[in-house]
A and B are shown apart, each in its own frame.
Chain A
Amino acid sequence: DQQVKQNSPSLSVQEGRISILNCDYTNSMFDYFLWYKKYPAEGPTFLISISSIKDKNEDGRFTVFLNKSAKHLSLHIVPSQPGDSAVYFCAASANFGNEKLTFGTGTRLTIIP
Chain B
Amino acid sequence: DAGITQSPRHKVTETGTPVTLRCHQTENHRYMYWYRQDPGHGLRLIHYSYGVKDTDKGEVSDGYSVSRSKTEDFLLTLESATSSQTSVYFCAIRPDYYSYNEQFFGPGTRLTV
Residues of A within 8 A of B (CB): 4, 6, 32, 34, 36, 41-46, 49, 51, 89, 91, 93, 96-101, 103-106
Q: With both chains docked as a complex, state the minimum distance between the C-beta of B3 and any C-beta of chain A, in angstroms.
A: 13
Query: CA of A101 to CA of B103 in the docked complex: distance in angstroms?
Result: 8
Count, A-B residue pairs, CB within 8 A: 59
Q: A46-B103, A51-B100 are in contact. Are A103 and B42 (CB under 8 A)?
A: yes
CB of A44 within 8 A of CB of B105, answer yes
Residues in B with CB closer than 8 Å to A34 are 101-102
B residues contacting the other copy or chain, number (CB 8 A)? 25
Q: How long is the Cα–Cα vector from A88 to B29 in the complex, in angstroms? A: 26
Q: How many whole Å from B93's CB to the nearest CB in chain A?
A: 11
Contact with A along B49-87 (1 / 0, CB 8 A): 010000000100000000000000000000000000000
Q: Which residues of B contact A96 (CB under 8 A)?
A: 100
Once the chains bind, are B43 and A100 in contact (CB under 8 Å)?
A: no
Question: Which residues does chain B contribute within 8 Å of A41, judged by CB atoms?
Answer: 107-108
A44 to B43, CA, bound (A): 10
What residues of B have a CB within 8 angstroms of the CB of A45 in the complex? 104-105
| Residue of A whose beta carbon sits closest to that of B104 | A46
Nearest Cβ on chain B to A99's Cβ, whole angstroms: 6
CA distance in complex: A79, B63 (Å): 44
Closest to A3 in B: B59
* In contact, A99 and B102 (Cβ under 8 angstroms): no
